[in-house]
Amino acid sequence: MSAKILSKSRGFYDVYERRPGSDQETTHYCPGCGHGILHKMIAEALIDYGVSDNSIIISPVGCSVFAYYYFAAGNFQAAHGRAPAVATGVKRALPESIVISYQGDGDLAAIGGNEILHAANRGESISVFFVNNAIYGMTGGQMAPTTLIGQKTTTTPYGRTVANEGYPIRMTELISQLEAPVYVERTMMADTKSINTTRKAVRKAIKNQVEKKGFSFVEVLSTCPTGWKMTAPQSEEWVKTTMTKQFPLGVYKDISGDAEPLDLTKNQLPAERIPKAISLPLGDKEKLVYQIPKTVNEEIKISGFGGQGVLSLGVWLSEFGMREDLNVSWIPSYGPEMRGGTAHCHVKLSNRPIGSPLVAQPTVLVATNRPSLEKFEQEVVEGGKIFWDNSLIDISPSRSDIVSFPVPATEIANQLGNTKAANVVMLGVITAVSDFLDENIVRRTLPEIFKKKHLLDLNMQAFNKGLEFAASLKQMT
Amino acid sequence: MERQLIKGNEAIVKGAILAGCRGYFGYPITPASEIAQAAALYMPLVGGTFLQAESEIAAINMVYGASGTGQRVMTASSSPGISLKQEGISYIAGAELPCVIVDVMRGGPGLGNIAPEQGDYHQIVKGGGHGNYKNIVLAPNSAQEMCDLTMLAFELSDKYRNPAVVLADGFIGQMMEPVVFPDPIDELPEKKWAIKGVPEDKDNLISSIELDPDDLERHNRKLQQKYEIIRKNEIRFQEYETEDAEFILVAFGIVSRLVQSAVDTLREDGVKVGMLRPITLMPFPTPVLEKLAADERVKFFSVFELNNGQMVDDVRLAVNGSKPVKFYGRMGGNVPTIQEIVDQVKKQMREI
């Protein structure tokens, strides 16, 4: 035991080659600082549990920013406060590794408050060591979120006040209130006994991770003689008598005994199975014969109230066009165009590559409410078609240079028992009177759109009604 | 291969998975949320990680961590979210970690609105975060390119150990078009610098800290050399009707689609106009512009953007005063009509 205490842990590098300067044997920490002791306890535990070789240490910003000088492990240096997020990324990618987030009070409790709370709340399977010495050491003794009331620092030169800075934050208490963490303890390093307690806590937090128990958190009240302007013995005394009043020691939560090991494994899908998993078309569809004219250049605008299925109708038209080997684009009303409560979309179908996907002068307008007809009628090109739902719109297009198709789509859909099928009735009419849509393609594609049988039956009926209505229109004219 | 009608935002995720990406860390924001939603749907099915982070800052730092293990990983957001990520992007660039970041730009500054804009050109192409770094930046203009350029972004990012950004806008993200997806990538490049939690990489370090000024300057010079190599090797662009063009319109992303239509219209009127579309914004196709600028035939350049004039700076630097460089921009989510672009070009022609 004495050899273990006096010698350097094998969990450290033999020579600290990353440390600049001539001294590569000792740490950069000040005399009387607690970091070195805590480092050693972590290194020792990693060796003792046989996980030193697959451990990854995340260094914070603060005095322990250089933890990577010392730990013979995979080392990440993280941005201020972000170590728990970096640890999360590492652990999710390498669930079998042992990931340690080592943080100080400014890092964890101030700038990184959000990251630690949420890593804890997710129950990330990591071990967090939180060194609380009530001050910013590295930047020169400024106030920490854990600085005590009345404590003088370089940014609280008159002493911290409740009125100005609020109370010192108790992270252990906060984190112990969350459901996911399995082990939360606060210890101190002020004498041999308390260092021993800390050592046990460190080992437990690492053991929990080795056993895949979940999130462990150890707050260690530690000394900063330089920042506190005290001797080392005075510092230890201050931790013992003053800090512990604000930060009571003890195990705040421990459910690690009952916790079932987490299953963190991820099964990588072999490359050949990926296309199916991400729903790519697998090229097994039957080839259809198309009956469409040589030149297609349709610019379609479909507009109505949200919920009338205008966006879906646009997507379907694009889908049919694509299956006719046309170039197609669909873009929903978006941004400032959404003003006024109408939903609409732009669809282009063309033999030629499509430049702008936006439709400024539609060749086809489908209007399913009055505001849409009023808003877009004037945009339609000369000779263009306007399909409008005359069961809902109580006016008619005013222009005589367009072809008007009044379609009681909602009424027909209601007769079929479902208002929602109105857009498919409209689709039937459009298919019947337009030469850019192939009825066969629509019929073959509808079962892929409506996968449930009762919906397919309803919509096939709606489609047929649309075709029939178009035929009756033709007879009338 | 069969085509699939798909939103640009979803095509990004499918492309990423085909490129071997197995980690997505993000935070929802309009108009980029479909990316997170598609990642949430598909990542678990291929053995990958999808994690909705507590913040944009956490998300980019999760990317930092996961990327350091050698995994192909990504995040996506929209303009205000990207501003929050800039700290992490600087660290990633400093630590020379590969990753893919998608920015589906929206209107700014501030909360702005959710309509498409291109106001992030400066924050993405010029750096954005602190320090002397550059992102590789790819600008798609179709759903197909949302897939293709995401895959390319992973490749370039690994090749140069550098963050790569797919800079899209709300329109391309929301637009549906047919996409042909390639086969999944089977073998990923070896990453000896990564930390995989095995004894062999115990000496590896993922860090952006260099205390000594000489060391940090050396590191910075190395980064600048890398950017030079990228500029030499990775420029991508599209020319449209430029062979005999007297007027060169320059546009990226969705605007290039509008400008392409405007070129067609102007050509019908007998105007000899063409378009240059930078596909890579970093590296910027400076040599292509230099060559066009040196051609006596070319009378002026005209840049169209959905912002206050950001890419136009790079066009001016390339043209270097040898020809007039005009600019027309719309902001706030407004998009010019084809006729508006045509009228602008005709007006600019009268001005010279």
Question: For residue B189, what is the DSSP state?
Answer: P
Shortest distance, CA A238 to any CA of chain B (angstroms): 33
Note whether B174 contacts A318, CB cutoff 8 Å: no
Give CA separation, B33 vs B52, B72, B146, B253, in Å. Answer: 11, 20, 15, 19
Is residue B105 a contact partner of residue B123, using CB atoms and an 8 Å limit? no
Compute chain A's Rg from CA coordinates: 35
Question: For residue A14, what is the DSSP state?
Answer: S
Q: Determine which of A77, A178, A209, A278 to mutate to test the interface with B (most B C-beta atoms within 10 Å).
A: A278
User: Which residues of chain A have a CB within 8 Å of the CB of B170?
Assistant: 334-335
CB neighbours of B244 closer than 8 A, spacing ≥ 6?
B272, B274, B297
0.90 surpassed by complex ipTM: yes
* Proportion of chain A above pLDDT 70, given as a percent: 95
Q: How confident is the model at residue A337 (pLDDT cuts 50, 70, 90)?
A: very low
Fold for the domain defined by B4-233: Rossmann fold (3.40.50)
Is residue A154 a contact partner of residue A142, using CB atoms and an 8 Å limit? yes
The per-residue pLDDT for B254 is: 96
Task: Report, as an integer, the average pLDDT of B148-165.
Answer: 98
Q: Worst-scoring range by mean pLDDT, A19-28, A155-164, A462-471?
A: A19-28
**Which residue matches tokens 């112990």?**
A176
The kind and range of the H/E element at B249 are: strand B247-250
- Whether A338 shows a pLDDT value over 70: the answer reads no
Three-state secondary structure string covering A22-91: CCCCCCCCCCCCCHHHHHHHHHHHHHHCCCHHHEEEEECCCHHHHHHHCECCEEEECCCCCHHHHHHHHH
Which residues are paired to A385 by β-bridges?
A364, A403
The per-residue pLDDT for A3 is: 66
Task: Report, as an integer, the average pLDDT of B145-171.
Answer: 97
Residue A372's CB is within 10 A of a number of other CB atoms, namely 26
CB neighbours of A366 closer than 8 A, spacing ≥ 6?
A300, A301, A302, A303, A304, A310, A313, A386, A387, A388, A426, A430
Shortest distance, CA A119 to any CA of chain B (angstroms): 9
- Chain A residue whose CA is closest to B205: A75
Distance between start and end Cα atoms, chain B: 48
- Whether A6 shows a pLDDT value over 90: the answer reads no
Give CA separation, B269 vs A354, B263, B342, in Å. Answer: 19, 10, 10
- Chain A residue whose CA is closest to B44: A266
Q: Which tokens go with A126?
A: 């990591």
Q: Which of A222, A218, A133 is nearest to A176 (CA)?
A: A218
The kind and range of the H/E element at B19 are: none
Note whether A90 contacts B91, CB cutoff 8 Å: no
The CATH class given to the B237-351 domain equals alpha beta
SS3 assignment, position A224: coil
The per-residue pLDDT for A5 is: 67
- Whether A339 shows a pLDDT value over 70: the answer reads no
- Whether A458 shows a pLDDT value over 90: the answer reads yes
* Proportion of chain A above pLDDT 90, given as a percent: 87
pLDDT (tens digit, 9 = 90+) per residue, B284-296?
Answer: 999 999 999 999 9
**Which residue matches tokens 């408050």?**
A113
Q: Which of B84, B2, B32, B91 is nearest to A281 (CA)?
A: B2
Q: How confident is the model at residue A306 (pLDDT cuts 50, 70, 90)?
A: confident
pLDDT (tens digit, 9 = 90+) per residue, B205-233?
Answer: 999 999 999 999 999 999 999 999 999 99
Q: Locate CATH 3.40.50.920 in chain B.
A: 237-351
pLDDT (tens digit, 9 = 90+) per residue, A397-446?
Answer: 999 999 999 999 999 999 999 999 999 999 999 999 998 999 999 999 99
pLDDT (tens digit, 9 = 90+) per residue, A49-104?
Answer: 999 999 999 999 999 999 999 999 999 999 999 999 999 999 999 999 999 999 99
CA distance B149 to B139: 8
Note whether B177 contacts A68, CB cutoff 8 Å: no
Highest mean pLDDT among A19-33, A320-334, B247-261: B247-261
CB neighbours of A198 closer than 8 A, spacing ≥ 6?
A37, A38, A41, A187, A188, A189, A218, A220
Q: How confident is the model at residue A336 (pLDDT cuts 50, 70, 90)?
A: very low
Is residue A322 a contact partner of residue B178, using CB atoms and an 8 Å limit? yes
CA distance A336 to B166: 24
**Which residue matches tokens 């924001």?**
B29
Long-range contact pairs involving B344-352 (C-beta distance under 8 Å, separation at least 24): B344/B302, B344/B304, B345/B247, B345/B249, B345/B262, B345/B266, B345/B271, B345/B273, B345/B302, B346/B266, B346/B271, B348/B247, B348/B300, B348/B302, B349/B247, B349/B271, B349/B299, B351/B326, B352/B299, B352/B300, B352/B324
Residue B104: what are its φ and ψ, rounded to 5°?
-95, 95
Q: Determine which of B62, B144, B277 to mutate to test the interface with A (most A C-beta atoms within 10 Å).
A: B62
Of A74, A76, A358, the CB nearest to B335: A358
Region of B175 (left: φ > 0; alpha: ψ -120 to 50; beta: rest) is beta
Note whether A328 contacts B58, CB cutoff 8 Å: no
pLDDT (tens digit, 9 = 90+) per residue, A359-377?
Answer: 999 999 999 999 999 999 9
The amino acid that residue B108 corresponds to is G
Note whether B209 contacts A271, CB cutoff 8 Å: no
The per-residue pLDDT for A291 is: 65
The per-residue pLDDT for A4 is: 66
- Whether A289 shows a pLDDT value over 90: the answer reads no
Q: Locate CATH 3.40.50.970 in chain B.
A: 4-233
Question: For residue A156, what is the DSSP state?
Answer: B
Burial letters for B182-219: b for 16+ Cβ neighbours within 10 Å, e otherwise?
eebbeebeebeebbbbeeebbebbbbbbeeeeeebeeb
User: Which residues of chain B have a CB within 8 Å of the CB of A328?
Assistant: 5, 177-178
A277 burial level (CB within 10 Å; 0-12, 13-18, 19+): middle
Three-state secondary structure string covering A264-287: CCCCCCCHHHHHHHCCCCCCCCCC
Shortest distance, CA B255 to any CA of chain A (angstroms): 8
* All structural domains of chain A: 2-254 (3.40.50.970), 297-476 (3.40.920.10)
Task: Report, as an integer, the average pLDDT of B339-343.
Answer: 97
The per-residue pLDDT for A294 is: 73
